[in-house]
Amino acid sequence: MTTPDFAAAEQFLAASARVLERRRHEHLFHGGGAEPVRAAVTAYRNADGGFGHALEPDGRCPGSQSLATDFALHTLLDAGAWDGAVALAACDWLARTAPAEGGTVFVTPAIAGWPHAPWWDPADQSASLTCTALLAGTMHAGRVSHPWLDGATALVWSRIDALRKPSPYDMRALLWFLEQVPDTGRAERALDRVCPLIFEHGLVALDPQTPGEVHFPLDFAPLPTSPARRFFDQPVIDAQLDHLAASQLADGGWTFNWPAWSPAAEREWRGHMTVEALRVLRANGRC
């Protein structure tokens, strides 16, 4: 059984990661408090209630973005630093900037003129299934009550009912939504219907050595408690965990398999991926 080198990972984070990832690491692995994580996240918050400032490394504008806002709230949730007032203010921002059908767009026009990954295209201002499902799931996990969330939840359910060929990112967001939405009976029925689409449409690479920008079982079911875990055989999960542990690079960190379009974004993503790798490995009994 392959295990990670924790000391090397800590050295990598100290040398290369943002304060946010270093604070998360302290909280997760050294008993650090939640307040430093909250303070690090709050530094990316805007007066409008959303989050920006390259918190999600692929969008490097100061203005609020959906993915940055979910990144912030999900981090607070994971750290036990949830702040209901911050979440409600984010819902207010989401409501003010929502497209006509509700939910949220993938990229707001605030990105114009600022460096961003080429796939952060603001041309489409319709509701994004990925971003709406992510944020709705996170808000449900935080037990938020807000009109934006009511509309976003209804929108996601309608998209699930019509789902035929999702993208891998859509599916990952939907799994998070289905894990957190309060209607557990409906969520279980939806899970049984949509999870087979992962295999029918080749959204997952079962061979951990598969190169390129692909999605692995641990992307869909990272934790033993993940609802989609039952759709993967244990030997498949074990092989994925072995590969994840063995993917630690010589500098002590982990990396990602999508294009590195910016040196700053690459460095920041690697810090995030390193903390996530350690978190997933520990949750699965590998460290």
pLDDT of residue 80: 96
**C-alpha to C-alpha distance for 219 and 233, rounded to whole angstroms:** 15
**C-alpha to C-alpha distance for 233 and 216, rounded to whole angstroms:** 13
Q: How many CB atoms neighbour CB 216 within 10 A?
A: 23
pLDDT digits (tens, 9 = 90+) for 156-203: 999 999 999 999 999 999 999 999 999 999 999 999 999 999 999 999
pLDDT digits (tens, 9 = 90+) for 236-286: 999 999 999 999 999 999 999 999 999 999 999 999 999 999 999 999 999
Q: How many CB atoms neighbour CB 91 within 10 A?
A: 22
pLDDT of residue 2: 79
For residue 39, what is the enclosing H or E element? helix 34-42
Q: For the chain, how far is it from start to end, CA to CA, in angstroms? A: 10
**C-alpha to C-alpha distance for 270 and 80, rounded to whole angstroms:** 23
pLDDT of residue 169: 98
pLDDT digits (tens, 9 = 90+) for 7-16: 999 999 999 9
Structure tokens at 121: 């295209």
pLDDT of residue 287: 84
CB burial class (10 A; 0-12, 13-18, 19+) of residue 214?
A: middle
Question: Three-state SS for 45?
Answer: strand
**C-alpha to C-alpha distance for 40 and 101, rounded to whole angstroms:** 33
Residues constituting the chain: 287
Residue 66: band (very low, low, confident or very high) from pLDDT cuts 50, 70, 90: very high
In sequence order, what are the residues at sequence separation of 6 or more whose Cβ sits closer than 8 angstroms to the Cβ of residue 192? none
pLDDT digits (tens, 9 = 90+) for 71-104: 999 999 999 999 999 999 999 999 999 999 999 9
**C-alpha to C-alpha distance for 108 and 235, rounded to whole angstroms:** 42
DSSP state of 119: T
pLDDT of residue 3: 87
**C-alpha to C-alpha distance for 152 and 148, rounded to whole angstroms:** 6
pLDDT of residue 181: 98
The residue ranges of every structural domain in the chain are: 1-32+211-287, 55-203
Residue 1: band (very low, low, confident or very high) from pLDDT cuts 50, 70, 90: low
